[in-house]
Structure 1
Amino acid sequence: MAFNLAINNDIAVITFDDGKVNAVGFTLIEQFNNALDEAEKNAKAVVLHGGEGKFCGGFDLSVMKSGDKEKQHELVSKGADLIVRLYSFPLPVIVAAEGHSIAMGAIMLMASDLRIGKDADTKYGLNETAIGMVLPPFGMELAKARLANTSQTEALLFSRIYQGNEAVKAGFLDAAVPQEKVLATAMRYAEQLKMLPSQAFAASKLQLRKETLEKMKG
């Protein structure tokens, strides 16, 4: 996997691209945490970019379909910790999602502060019910906090997958733009958000999300 952290002008750009669907496995989670450690020390905003034409297709299926219950539980637990960290991260977190963001990928969107996606032909959503799974509590509580009330039944129970402005209306994205403008738009927002007083931003985020974070951890 090509994983890269670049910090310029106080913006940390974390790019992860495995050439496929950017499945979330143990290695990627470790790389994310290391990059977030560095960003917290040396940046004022973070941009997550899944590479050209992609974002994240969910947990690593080689683990989730392996039959090894211990490994599966460990991966989901570490993934939950990462999501809690992103949702409570003291810096603004902006996503540039040029491609499909399904399951854990959609949860990563909901854990971020501002989400820029593609305006067409790209899937955003939670497919757990459709594949016979129940969304873990950390994902369910996050979805209840971030998705529009009018979209929660179809998104969480019916596994509806959204595209473009439908994903904005549902609450998975904040803006949908042409693919060639996704990263540039995210960077433009990062330039604005990095100017916010850091201590006030971090404290306000924790105050705003305290109840949801407690439920996610529980």
Structure 2
Amino acid sequence: MAFNLAINNDIAVITFDDGKVNAVGFELIQQFNDALDEAEQNAKAVVLHGGEGKFCGGFDLSVMKADDKAKQHELVSKGAELIVRLYSFPLPVVVAAEGHSIAMGAIMLMAADLRIGKDADTKYGLNETAIGMVLPPFGMELAKARLANTSQTEALLFSRIYQGSEAVKAGFLDAAVPQEQVLATAMGYAEKLKMLPRQSFAESKIQMRKETIAKMQA
């Protein structure tokens, strides 16, 4: 896993790229938390970038398909804690998702404040129902808060996967642009958002999201 944190002009760019699908495992969660600790101290906005042509394909299947149920529960619990942290983070969080964002990847999108994705040939969505799973409560509550009301049945029950402008309409993305513009567009938004007063931004975010956060943590 190539994981990097770079802080320039008060923007913390967190890049994670394992050369595959950027599966979320214990190590990646710890790296994220360490990077967010530093960003909280030394930056004014955060950009999450999954590398060229990718974002995140979900939880690490080597754990989720193994026989160790305790490990599976631990991984999902730690993943939930990370998502709640992102959703309540005191700085603006912008995602640059150049590639597929499925399952936990889609949940990460919903936890961010602003999401820039690719405009075509890229999948965004929650496939849990289709693969015989139930979306964990933290993901379900987040989805009900972030997805468009008119898209929730097809997204959550029918496991519809979206691309480009459809993902924007459903609520997984805020903008879909050509792949070569994804990171630059996300950085442009971060430059603007970093100018917001930190205390008022953080307090307003918590006030707006506290009910959903409480349900995610229940």
* TM norm. shorter chain > 0.5: yes
Deviation at 1:24, TM superposition (A): 0.0
TM-score in terms of structure 2 length? 1.00
Match of 1:101 in 2: 101
Unaligned runs of 5+ in 2: none
Match of 1:64 in 2: 64
1:25-40 mapped onto 2 (5 Å cutoff):
25-40=25-40
Give CA deviations for 1:134-156 in whole Å, capped at 9, x if unaligned.
Answer: 00000000000000000000000
The whole-number CA distance in structure 2 between the counterparts of 1:95 and 1:86 is 11
Match of 1:112 in 2: 112
Report the number of matched residues: 218
Q: Which amino acid aligns with 1:170?
A: A
Percent identical among aligned pairs is 89
Deviation at 1:89, TM superposition (A): 0.1
Which secondary structure does the structure 1 equivalent of 2:120 belong to?
A: coil
Give CA deviations for 1:138-196 in whole Å, capped at 9, x if unaligned.
Answer: 00000000000000000000000000000000000000000000000000000000000
Deviation at 1:67, TM superposition (A): 1.2
1:30-179 mapped onto 2 (5 Å cutoff):
30-179=30-179
The whole-number CA distance in structure 2 between the counterparts of 1:25 and 1:2 is 14
Match of 2:216 in 1: 216
Which secondary structure does the structure 1 equivalent of 2:78 belong to?
A: helix
Q: Which amino acid aligns with 1:153?
A: T
Which secondary structure does the structure 1 equivalent of 2:37 belong to?
A: helix
Q: CA RMSD in A?
A: 0.2
The whole-number CA distance in structure 2 between the counterparts of 1:94 and 1:68 is 34
Give CA deviations for 1:40-98 in whole Å, capped at 9, x if unaligned.
Answer: 00000000000000000000000000111000000000000000000000000000000
Q: Please list every run of at least 4 consecutive aligned residues from structure 1 whose deviation after the TM superposition is greater than 3 angstroms.
A: none
TM-score in terms of structure 1 length? 1.00
Unaligned runs of 5+ in 1: none
Deviation at 1:38, TM superposition (A): 0.1
Q: Which amino acid aligns with 2:57?
A: G
Q: Which amino acid aligns with 1:103?
A: A
